[in-house]
Amino acid sequence: MNSTPSPGLLLSRREFLTTAGALVVGFSLGAVSDLFAQRPQEGAKLPGSLASTPMLDAWIRIGADGTITVCTGKGELGQGIKTALIQIASEELGVQPAAIKPVTADTRTTPDEGYTAGSNSMKDSGTAIQNAAAQVREILIGRAADKLTVSADKLVARDGFVVTDDGRRAAFGELVGDNLTHVRAQPQSKLKDPRTYALVGKPLARVDIPAKVSGGAAYVQDLRLPGMLHARVIRPPSYGARLRDVKVADAETLPGVIKIVRDGNFLAVVAEHEFQAVVAMRALATNASWEMRNRLPDPSDIYGTLRRLPADAIVDLDLNGQAAAPARRLEASYRRPYQMHGAIGPACAIALMKDGTLTVWTHSQGVYPLRKSIAELLHLPEDRIQCVHAEGAGCYGHNGADDAAADAALIARALPDRPVRVQWMREQEHAWEPYGPAMIADVKAALDADGNVVEWTYDVWSNAHSTRPGGAGNLLPAWHLETPFTQPVPKPIPLPEGGGDRNAIPLYKFPNARVVHHFIPSMPVRVSALRALGAYANIFAIESFIDELAAAASVDPVEFRLRHLDDPRARDVIVMAASRFGWANYPAGKGRGRGFAFARYKNLGAYLALAVDIEIDRESGRVKVLRAVAAVDSGQPVNPDGIRNQIEGGIVQSASWTLYEAVSFDTNAITSTDWGSYPIARFADVPGNVDVHVIERPGAPFLGTGEAAQGPTAAALANAIANATGARLRELPLSRTRVKATIGV
């Protein structure tokens, strides 16, 4: 059955074309010169992503009919960015949120904002849209002032009109008619006073949820293009396996099969209907013989393997100050295994090759980098490729999304004029996605006689935390082609963002501190960016060790943290989380434990502190999280309920990583291939209650939220287990088996 393409997902391009028609060429400064009479400061940096995309109408487009389109280079990943950006734009433009049509990442219509990652979307895109909207508003007011012969300071923008106090008005659409907003942004904007905010800082219902609860076309998986075919890829049984031979006759004659595509070790099948593609995929898998190569390391010695691999030592911090004499020394080593993104919906993409032009609908986090990579893969110029973001299942980092887009592109090239939809099977998603890297952190510290930290040494060993496609060599199917692309040697992400050393520098004031990142280029297991990157393991290690030091100094862990912190915003989240949790009055009980942790994500993003209350079943070693209480400071909150939703989810997800998750493998292949062999938290396992308190900082820069809870949750749980049992677990996951072993039942 044919069905029509999803209007919601395809509208954006048409909208852009009609909207852009009103704004294409030329502009007159006119009234604008009054508003921005001062020359931009020499070299002044434009706010947020305006720095890389400075034209106002790249962000805010107002049509002659008054429609307002807001463009972002970021994609909706389920984090609610679309709604938050609508709030920001409508606030500054003085319109209702419903008046804004959002357009998300699309290489033909939106700014290039790189990846939707790193909790940077509010800082990058939110800041750009806030400033662009404010500047567009002032341009419209300036033009209205001329038109209505009223002084600009007597005018306000309201509901799509610029209005005077005596009731006269001019519609945005008629004001903008001559391409008024096709101008470069200015470094300074007349932003609204946060005290007058009507929308920003107030909870707003997410615009994407109604379609998601009612079977609307909400995801790339739901796109149905006319004449669309379904494809499946037959993956090798392990990394680096070579397709020796495949007998295609059985599959070729199956109902609905249109084509079998083979290029070296890349094997795919295309069929009329989706399940026909699945059946043919299985037939091909049965009839394929593979030569196994590239053995995986011994999983029982993976940390030893990592320590033995060549590493580049990067000194992140070397602080030598005055301090009291050390009275006591402690050291410990912490470990984090490979862990999986585990999207509930496997990777999916649709590609259409038509008239030498390729269109790819993808849930990639970076449509522009993906376009560049596919251009290299297919030897096509970038301007013949359009990558359009459409939502997938939550990704939590770099998973199979880009690879599926490359699969679709390769198959569509072999079948021009027919849209091809590829979706991965569960076992493919589990076995082939790039995992969050295994890591080791060694920590040493010295306390003086008063229990203050006077020396701190931290060494972290890690693979790369980004192998995102910036070229074809990081696309999985590119490795399998007859003429393969090889994966480039990865580079560490430099601080202040950091990769393996993200959050490796503690925010605490230690007079002597040395932090070294041992970057391991060689990757025995495929890895890349998983939500929070190295911050997850680093905060787990640092905040666990802080508790160990507090115990050695016989100081309450919350008090110990406050003693070593100057930053008032850090202190505020700690004090709030502790007080809302009832830290001081915690009723200790048998098998019960409380744990605390704090971090400022990347040392430049959101501040988060949390306390957890757990109960341990001595027979099974099961850790039950009874409640968690968090306080978060993300700067000016835009959608406080969105922040709470992200932090609640981050706590639950991190608790699942921390208590249950490790990718399993043997020396041949990955053995975590479904939810049975890679269990994650289910309803019975998640906390009884999670309270998130959002600290408001009116007018402060947006700090982002999405990854702030991942690291602190891990440490808070480890600290709670130590509190409940008296035993310290330093290797993730803090599984039943390990808990049971420490309590010796």
Q: Which x/- pattern over 475-514 shows residues binding another protein (rule: CB under 8 A)?
A: ----------------------------------------
Q: How far is the CB of 706 from another protein (least distance, A)?
A: 10
Q: Is 250 in the site for another protein (CB under 8 A)?
A: no
Candidate ranges 336-344, 380-388, 553-561, 566-574; the one touching another protein (CB under 8 A): 336-344
Identified binder of another protein from the candidate list 173, 649, 699, 701, rule CB under 8 A: 649
| Among 206, 190, 217, residue whose Cα is nearest residue 85 | 206
Q: Is 648 in the site for another protein (CB under 8 A)?
A: yes
**Nearest CB to another protein, comparing residues 616 and 655:** 655
The tokens 């919601």 sit on which residue?
8
Are the beta carbons of 105 and 75 closer than 8 angstroms? yes
**Nearest CB to another protein, comparing residues 545 and 678:** 678
Two structure tokens written together for 220: 């790339």
Cα Rg of the chain, angstroms = 27
Identified binder of another protein from the candidate list 158, 273, 293, 329, rule CB under 8 A: 273
Pairing status of strand 229-234 against strand 242-246: unpaired
Query: Terminus-to-terminus CA distance in the chain, angstroms?
Result: 60
Identified binder of another protein from the candidate list 392, 437, 490, 635, rule CB under 8 A: 392
Local structure of 117: helix, strand or coil: coil
Q: How far is the CB of 674 from another protein (least distance, A)?
A: 6
What single letter denotes the amino acid at residue 120? N
Q: Is 664 in the site for another protein (CB under 8 A)?
A: no
Q: Which x/- pattern over 703-732 shows residues binding another protein (rule: CB under 8 A)?
A: ------------------------------
Q: Is 37 in the site for another protein (CB under 8 A)?
A: no
Two structure tokens written together for 500: 């393996």
Q: Is 257 in the site for another protein (CB under 8 A)?
A: no
Q: Is 230 in the site for another protein (CB under 8 A)?
A: yes
Q: Is 216 in the site for another protein (CB under 8 A)?
A: yes
Identified binder of another protein from the candidate list 346, 369, 419, 637, rule CB under 8 A: 346
- The kind and range of the H/E element at 650 are helix 640-660
**Nearest CB to another protein, comparing residues 87 and 189:** 87
**Nearest CB to another protein, comparing residues 220 and 405:** 220
Looking at residues 409 to 468 of the shown chain, list those that interact with another protein (rule: CB under 8 A): 423, 425-426
Identified binder of another protein from the candidate list 650, 704, 711, 733, rule CB under 8 A: 650
Q: What angle do CA 367, 371, 375 make, to 5 degrees?
A: 170
Q: How far is the CB of 4 from another protein (least distance, A)?
A: 9
Q: What angle do CA 122, 125, 127 make, to 5 degrees?
A: 70
Are the beta carbons of 505 and 317 closer than 8 angstroms? yes
Candidate ranges 484-492, 557-565, 644-652, 734-742; the one touching another protein (CB under 8 A): 644-652
Distance between CA atoms of residues 295 and 297, nearest Å: 7
Identified binder of another protein from the candidate list 393, 476, 533, 724, rule CB under 8 A: 393
Give CB contacts under 8 A, 24+ apart, made by 137-140: 137/92, 137/93, 137/94, 138/35, 138/189, 138/190, 139/31, 139/32, 139/35, 139/56, 139/180, 139/181, 139/183, 140/62, 140/172, 140/175, 140/176, 140/180
Two structure tokens written together for 532: 């929070």
Candidate ranges 192-200, 238-246, 262-270, 393-401; the one touching another protein (CB under 8 A): 393-401
Q: Which x/- pattern over 73-112 shows residues binding another protein (rule: CB under 8 A)?
A: ----xxxx--------------------------------
What single letter denotes the amino acid at residue 45? K
Two structure tokens written together for 522: 């060689």
Tell me how far CA of residue 677 lies from CA of 151, 209, 526, 623, 663, in angstroms.
69, 31, 18, 20, 9
Tell me how far CA of residue 530 lies from CA of 129, 164, 462, 608, 623, in angstroms.
27, 52, 13, 19, 24
Candidate ranges 86-94, 128-136, 342-350, 435-443; the one touching another protein (CB under 8 A): 342-350
How far is C-alpha 623 from the geometric centre of its chain's CA atoms?
28
Looking at residues 40 to 79 of the shown chain, list those that interact with another protein (rule: CB under 8 A): 77-79
**Nearest CB to another protein, comparing residues 36 and 219:** 219
How many residues bind to another protein according to rule CB under 8 A?
Answer: 66
Two structure tokens written together for 230: 């379904």
**Nearest CB to another protein, comparing residues 443 and 734:** 734
Identified binder of another protein from the candidate list 107, 127, 452, 653, rule CB under 8 A: 653
User: Which residues make up the interface to another protein (CB under 8 A)?
Assistant: 1, 3, 77-80, 205-206, 208-219, 221-222, 224, 230, 255, 273-276, 278-279, 342-346, 391-394, 396, 423, 425-426, 641, 645-646, 648-653, 656, 674-676, 680-684, 686-687, 689-690
